[in-house]
Amino acid sequence: MSQLGRHSWMQKFAVAARGVLLGLQGERSMRVHAAAAMGVSLVGWWLELSASEWGLLVLCMGFVIAAELLNTAVERLAAVVEPKEHPQIRDVLDLAAGGVLMAALAAAIVGSLIFWQAYQRKNASLAPSKTSAVSPFPTAHRPLLTIQYSPLPHSIPNAPAGGIGTPPTIPNLDLPMNRGSIPKFTPTLFRL
């Protein structure tokens, strides 16, 4: 048994990298997942995904590959513990495989939603515009959350006679809030 706790961080990373290489060399399904991740990356590059969309895709790809590595570890451990077929070992292996399936299905759904939205954006940017409105953001880098200001009525009930005071600012967003305006938050993550 390896005494991993006594190794340096470089040795720990080397051991982990060896585990990934063992998974790629010994498991066909691991190679399929790695090839799918490369294909997803190429399509994402072609669709000019935003940073947040890339983040979601990388998270999903990493989750699927990690699940496949854990499944491979369980399979190899089961082969050592019980070389013959055993009903309980079979159930454990089926559970591990089911975990990989669920991770892959969730990743496929998230990837489909992201790619569909990005494809719609790409088509819209290639088509001639019917309006003269121009977005302040490039097509591939629209924010997940937009803030719009809508004016308040000119007279505010129970307001002091001299006015409300100096308008506050939002320090993190660096957007001044003009007196008489309130922010309106519009989520746009999965707008189809």
Same domain, 111 and 171: no
Residue 190: what pLDDT?
47
Where does the pLDDT of residue 191 fall: very low under 50, low under 70, confident under 90, or very high at 90 and above? very low
State which residues form the domain around 33: 8-126
Residue 161 located in a structural domain = yes
Residue 181: what pLDDT?
52
Where does the pLDDT of residue 5 fall: very low under 50, low under 70, confident under 90, or very high at 90 and above? low
Residue 66 located in a structural domain = yes
**Would you say residue 187 has pLDDT above 70?**
no
Residue 176 located in a structural domain = yes
Task: Give 40-64 pLDDT, tens digit per residue.
Answer: 999 999 999 999 999 999 999 999 9
Same domain, 150 and 99: no
CA 25 vs CA 30, 34, 69: distances in Å:
8, 11, 12
* Residues of the chain above pLDDT 70, percent: 63
pTM: 0.60
**Would you say residue 71 has pLDDT above 80?**
yes
Same domain, 101 and 168: no
Same domain, 93 and 162: no
- The mean pLDDT of 104-131, rounded to a whole number, is 85
Same domain, 108 and 178: no
Sign of CA dihedral 31, 37, 39, 41: negative
Cα end-to-end distance, the chain, whole Å: 53
CATH of the domain at 93: 1.10.287.3610
